[in-house]
Structure 1
Amino acid sequence: MAQGVSRTHINGSGLVRALGGLTAADVPASKQSFADRLGQWLGFADALTLYSALNAGTPGDAVPSSGAPSQDGEALRQAMVHLRDALTESIANDGVFRPGPARIELPTPDPLVPVESAADFAPYHRYYLAHQRDMAVRVGPLRAMVRAALQGRSGALGRLAALDAVMDQALAARERELLATVPALLGRRFEQCYNAHRATLAETPTADDAARWMQPGGWLAEFCREMQSVLLAEVDLRLQPVAGLIAALDEAVANEVTSKQ
């Protein structure tokens, strides 16, 4: 039963659903449990470090809480919300569909260049990679800050923070490898959309046609919106570990309050 629960959770992520909506292919669920796949991703040194983190201390070695844990949790939650809003705004405010200064500007067809250049995925690939770098640079420090807050609360939360640090480091390369496949999938989607559009044309597209691709209902405008939906789903995916750590802190605070009543 545990195996089924783990698989459902992974396949049910927003990013997987967003990518699944871009293809008609039916991707079968993995027959491996999450634990089996995790074992394949961890090296021997990582496994030893993980074992140490899981077995550090005993359940009764709680460290007295200091400060105001409820305020700590609220401050961390607000920091996470602020970061999610900032990343979401950066994706939404692309300088095209929402005109204005954009941190990372969405590419658009240039009527002065050949139409073949307007049908090139490379600029959109760079756009996606730029947002991925932005996420990585900004989510990492917040995750480390949340871990630091947990380490001072109790023995159990300290072990959770240590476990998250191990997992963060051990799976970083695997995460980069998997997320690097997302732009490639979008590249295939780009080609699919362009080919479907060309199949409806009676003649070769012109520069004027390329300019209309970004108009409402245009194939390129629709692709860009799909790409932004995938980016938003990736933001949520990257913030999941942070949200989980904050939820653990909230639960610990609630238990402290209940025990004092």
Structure 2
Amino acid sequence: MAKASQRAPVLGPAFIRLLARFNDEGTSPAAPAVPERLAQWFDWNRAITLSKALDNPPPAPEPGPDYDDAQDAECARVHAKLIDAIQADIELAPPRNAAPADAELPPGFAPYRQHYLNQQRAMQTASGRLRGRLRDMLARQSAAKARLAEVDAVMEATLSPREHTLLSHVPVLLGLHYQRLYDTAAHDPVDAPASEPPAAPTGPWLATFRQDLRIALLAELDVRFHPINGLLAALRTR
């Protein structure tokens, strides 16, 4: 009798649980405590900068537009535009000027990898621009909110490089997920590709992968908009 899987459930946001499923490496070691994790992300220079943001008077805000309902509408518009791009058809032509590493990718995966990278860049650019604008507006509302805006700026400068490094691994995990689905289909009499593999793999498994790719992008978009939603909530509070 086959033994039941002993894999421990992964706790955390939907994006983390999804990536754990793509990784599929079995039981993971116990997670370190929160202080230990923070110690890995904050060196002493960043800790001093954060302490100054918390303890010192915030700098005088620069002149600019004040917050109004139009800012909520703009954030919603950008968010919807990013969702539309994620849900759009994926260009399956091989990427131009493909990197040498692309030769090591699973058959047919390169266009999906490029699509994910393109959407990541779009999300990073759009969310960064919105976050900076909302932070400037927050600093103009009151001294207390100016302090909050400065803390958010320090947190962004501290965590964004780490976030970028971690999120750059998502296409790698998607490649492993793609390969597993492809290999499983190859051993299935119904889904198995022809003896001569087509230039672009096809089959029900590919529809599953494409849906998983979009789910991953939507979950990542949700993560990238968490700070923006927090700033909007602070701006609405009088």
Match of 2:141 among 132, 153, 157: 153
Contact 2:108 2:199 in 1 (8 A): no
Gaps of 5+ in 1: 1-9, 95-104, 110-116, 254-261
Show CA shifts across 1:43-87 (max 9, x none): 2221111110111239xxxx9xx9997xx2522222221111000
Show CA shifts across 1:183-218 (max 9, x none): 1111110111011001114774445695642xxxx1
Show CA shifts across 1:91-144 (max 9, x none): 1112xxxxxxxxxx33279xxxxxxx9823222211111111111111111000
Q: How does 1:200-215 map to 2 (within 5 A)?
A: 200-201=188-189, 204-206=194-196, 212-213=202-203
Match of 1:133 among 121, 132, 137: 121
1:97 corresponding residue in structure 2? none
1:258 corresponding residue in structure 2? none
1:240 corresponding residue in structure 2? 226
Contact 1:190 1:223 in 2 (8 A): yes
Give, in whole Å, the separation in 1 of the partners of 2:193 and 2:65. 69
Per-residue deviation at 1:26?
Answer: 4.4
1:32 corresponding residue in structure 2? 33
Q: Secondary structure at the match of 2:56?
A: coil
Percent identical among aligned pairs is 34
Distance 1:152 1:124, change over 3 A: same
Match status 1:220 vs 2:206: yes
Gaps of 5+ in 2: 1-9, 95-104
Greater helix content: 1
Q: Secondary structure at the match of 1:146?
A: helix
Contact 1:11 1:29 in 2 (8 A): no
Distance 1:108 1:197, change over 3 A: farther
Look up the equivalent residue of 2:219 and give its one-letter code.
Answer: A
Alignment TM-score, normalising by the size of structure 1: 0.72
Distance 1:210 1:136, change over 3 A: closer
Give, in whole Å, the separation in 1 of the partners of 2:86 and 2:54. 38
Distance 1:200 1:82, change over 3 A: same
Give, in whole Å, the separation in 1 of the partners of 2:193 and 2:75. 51
2:154 corresponding residue in structure 1? 166
Match of 2:69 among 74, 80, 85: 74
RMSD, aligned CA: 3.1
Show CA shifts across 1:135-163 (max 9, x none): 11111110000000100001111011000
Alignment TM-score, normalising by the size of structure 2: 0.78
Give aligned pairs, total.
214
Distance 1:203 1:136, change over 3 A: closer
Give, in whole Å, the separation in 2 of the partners of 1:203 and 1:144. 49
Match status 1:106 vs 2:101: no
Q: Secondary structure at the match of 1:19?
A: helix
Distance 1:26 1:206, change over 3 A: same
Distance 1:39 1:74, change over 3 A: farther
Give, in whole Å, the separation in 1 of the partners of 2:32 and 2:123. 31
Q: Secondary structure at the match of 1:49?
A: helix
1:55 corresponding residue in structure 2? 55
